[in-house]
Structure 1
């Protein structure tokens, strides 16, 4: 079967070598695009300042309570995905917080706030169900 979508990250060196870029199927392409949306801060893309996610606006905000933060992040994720990923219908976004021990060095661990997320929907082309899940650590030095 033909793989019509490019994989991320794009490896432009292959073009200089006159080789084709790597390809993937629709579900993998959507998952990679969602990951790109989620991991990009709003305003980082000069051509479209609405591309990205507001998660990173509240990464260091310790004053906001978890339920309000959860609603802000959920709304921001939903809006951004709805605006930038038109291959999904019936979009749903669920998030939850938990605490996780994260290793820093050989024997040192620290407690981090973990954001678990699930994005669901149906593929617009085929009406197949789609699900993407991931997690991120919030707070200072949480880019483990």
Structure 2
């Protein structure tokens, strides 16, 4: 069975020649997708395509939230399909909800946007079902 190492790599342990923590293939796929979601354009110098459109969409103004969500979903589906080849994708869904932070007096002090990104598929090597949700807090998506 192939070894799958935890992301991020513990370079301190690596330099001390200690064994690195290993994870299941399913956990490895999840960590890799999360890394892809957190990477912005040009951040990985070896491949500018290794990115997620989320960071270019942060604080963007839109007059149609559904179109915005569709663009993000399509980009995530494309990126995961291209870079996470251990997964056969069945569906990617992106939903947005607002979380209200309340003061002691139960007054709304802040509203935070949260993206719920759900990736469904099959891990090719093991045949396991993959159904994971990634929660990401996001800048204010302004609907004009």
TM-score normalized by the length of structure 2: 0.86
TM-score normalized by the length of structure 1: 0.86
Q: Residues 85-124 of structure 1 correspond to what in structure 2 (within 5 A)?
A: 85-102=84-101, 109-124=109-124
Provide the rounded CA distance (Å) in 1 between the counterparts of 2:90 and 2:83.
12
Provide the residue aligned with 2:68 in structure 1. 69
DSSP-derived class of the 1:67 partner:
helix
Asked if the contact 2:5–2:28 (Cα under 8 Å) also holds between the matched residues in 1, the reply is yes
Q: Confirm or deny that 1:42 pairs with 2:41.
A: yes
Per-residue Cα deviation, 1:18-39 (whole angstroms, up to 9, x for no partner): 2122111101000100100011
Q: Quote the RMSD (CA, aligned, Å).
A: 2.0
- Unmatched 5+ residue regions in structure 2? none
Q: Confirm or deny that 1:55 pairs with 2:54.
A: yes
Per-residue Cα deviation, 1:69-92 (whole angstroms, up to 9, x for no partner): 101100110010000000011331
DSSP-derived class of the 1:19 partner:
coil
Provide the rounded CA distance (Å) in 2 between the counterparts of 1:38 and 1:50.
12
Q: Confirm or deny that 1:12 pairs with 2:11.
A: yes
Asked if the contact 1:116–1:136 (Cα under 8 Å) also holds between the matched residues in 2, the reply is yes
Provide the rounded CA distance (Å) in 2 between the counterparts of 1:63 and 1:99.
16
The count of corresponding residues between Structure 1 and Structure 2 is 137
Asked if the contact 1:43–1:49 (Cα under 8 Å) also holds between the matched residues in 2, the reply is yes
Provide the rounded CA distance (Å) in 1 between the counterparts of 2:16 and 2:63.
50
Asked if the contact 2:81–2:89 (Cα under 8 Å) also holds between the matched residues in 1, the reply is no
Provide the rounded CA distance (Å) in 1 between the counterparts of 2:134 and 2:85.
20
DSSP-derived class of the 2:66 partner:
helix
Asked if the contact 2:89–2:119 (Cα under 8 Å) also holds between the matched residues in 1, the reply is no
